[in-house]
Amino acid sequence: MRATFLSIKLIVFIGLILLFVNCTKQVKTDNKHTEDLKIIGYVAGYENYDIAKVDATKLTHINYAFANIVEGKPKFELDIDAIKISKLIALKKVNPNLKVLYSIGGWTWSDKFSHIAAYPEAREKFAKSSVQLMKKYGFDGVDLDWEFPGQRAEDNAFRPSDKENFTLLLAEIRKHLEKAAIADKTHYLLTIASGADQAYIDNTDLAKAQEYLDFINVMCYDFYNGWFYQTGHHANLYPSEKEKFKGNSGQEAINRHIKAGVPANKLVMGIPFYGRQWSKVSLNKDGLYQTAMTTGVIVPYWDIIKKIKSGNFKKGYDNSAKASYLWNAIDSVFISWETPKEIKLKTEFIKEKGLGGAMFWEYSLDKDQELLNALSKNMK
């Protein structure tokens, strides 16, 4: 009887040790993941913003936007580009681990992607010149922001074969990046910004495309945007119970990418440093999911803070969607916006899902770094 009791005590003791070891291993794994999380900030060259104010200590990557496509090659078209790029590259002195990429395309300059991706010779020309431009300025990689393959966007060319051609284009760029990597004894990054809706998934083959990519920046914003004469959350984390018709959310956007075949750790969740504002809104339900006489225009975060100080805006929160909004009943103005509260919830979501980190658009829209500080703090 005593021997049995001692045996039980021994088994319990061993079990507690194993439990402690397993818990310790889990903590180490979680910490490792947290250390690897990316904070990627887009910096728009066309914005009137002093690059010297960029806080490189809070970023792991910077994407400089944008290069246009001219005669089949990426090209910087602004007079100020070279100066701003050199200042960004100089930030590596502050943060030696910082990676600086340049982004090609964007909403306006995605009009020629379909053409350069359609033919082998055009793909090779574009890929070679992309690597040459990267090396000329000292970038660490290339980011493609093709909006949107296979779909009508801002007066862009598109064709059904974009789905296959997009992957072929990425494969060609990766091939030439690898050649440069062998010669330079380093690794060059290739990333994309992807759409958040099902149409983007349907018009791309992300399961194959991701094989050539280091990670994918999912644009989890603009769910209600400049095409909508109706208000709504433009970057809600979860679906809203208040929404009458099926909308979108960050959770659904990420799940679509995972279902499409992209590993979770290759997905970077996009966060907006701006809001969307509608005017002449119907005076019901504090303006949420109501018709408006204007579409949702972009409002920088710093400008929203300024508007709140007028005292005319009432703060609202949709708990089901985890999204904040503002309502000005006097002028019938509705604003969907991102706050530090949403930033915290999204960083928790990123960690829970095992994602690769967070991306934001765009640095100058949060000039006092309130959102960036929240992102940096909560990501750690």
Note if 352 is an active site residue: no
Query: What are the tens digits of pLDDT across the range 79-128?
Result: 999 999 999 999 999 999 999 999 999 999 999 999 999 999 999 999 99
**pLDDT interval class at 9 (50, 70, 90):** very low
pLDDT at 33: 53
- 23, pLDDT greater than 80: no
In whole angstroms, give the CA distance from residue 81 to residue 88: 11
**pLDDT interval class at 58 (50, 70, 90):** very high
The rounded percent of the chain whose pLDDT value lies above 90 is 87
At 68, which helix (H) or strand (E)? strand 61-70
pLDDT at 304: 98
pLDDT at 228: 94
Residues in Cβ contact with 7 at an 8 Å cutoff, skipping those fewer than 6 apart: none
Pairing of strands 189-194, 99-105: unpaired
Q: Which of 77, 124, 147, 252 is catalytic?
A: 147
Whether this prediction's pTM lies above 0.85 is answered by: yes
- 344, pLDDT greater than 60: yes
**pLDDT interval class at 266 (50, 70, 90):** very high
pLDDT at 28: 34
CA dihedral (362, 364, 367, 373) positive or negative: positive
Query: What are the tens digits of pLDDT across the range 172-205?
Result: 999 999 999 999 999 999 999 999 999 999 999 9
- Whether 358 and 376 have beta carbons less than 8 Å apart is answered as no
In whole angstroms, give the CA distance from residue 377 to residue 380: 6
Helices (H), the chain: 2-36, 81-90, 113-118, 120-137, 162-184, 198-202, 206-209, 250-259, 301-308, 340-353, 370-379
Least confident of 100-104, 127-131, 144-148: 144-148
Amino acid identity at 288: L
The pairs formed by 364-367 with CB atoms below 8 angstroms and a separation of 24 or more are 364/43, 364/44, 364/47, 364/48, 364/49, 364/300, 365/273, 365/274, 365/300, 365/301, 365/302, 366/273, 366/300, 366/301, 366/302, 367/49, 367/53, 367/300, 367/302
Query: What are the tens digits of pLDDT across the range 360-376?
Result: 999 999 999 999 999 99
pLDDT at 29: 31
- Whether 189 and 140 have beta carbons less than 8 Å apart is answered as yes
Which DSSP string corresponds to 268-293?
A: EEEEESEEEEE-SB-SSGGGTT-BBS
- 27, pLDDT greater than 50: no
pLDDT at 34: 56
pLDDT at 153: 77
- 26, pLDDT greater than 80: no
pLDDT at 36: 87
- Whether 242 and 262 have beta carbons less than 8 Å apart is answered as no
- 12, pLDDT greater than 70: no
Computed over every residue of the chain, the mean pLDDT equals: 92
Which domains are seen in the chain, by residue range?
Answer: 27-272+339-379 (3.20.20.80)
Residue 215: helix, strand or coil by DSSP? strand
The rounded percent of the chain whose pLDDT value lies above 70 is 91
Least confident of 22-31, 270-279, 284-293: 22-31
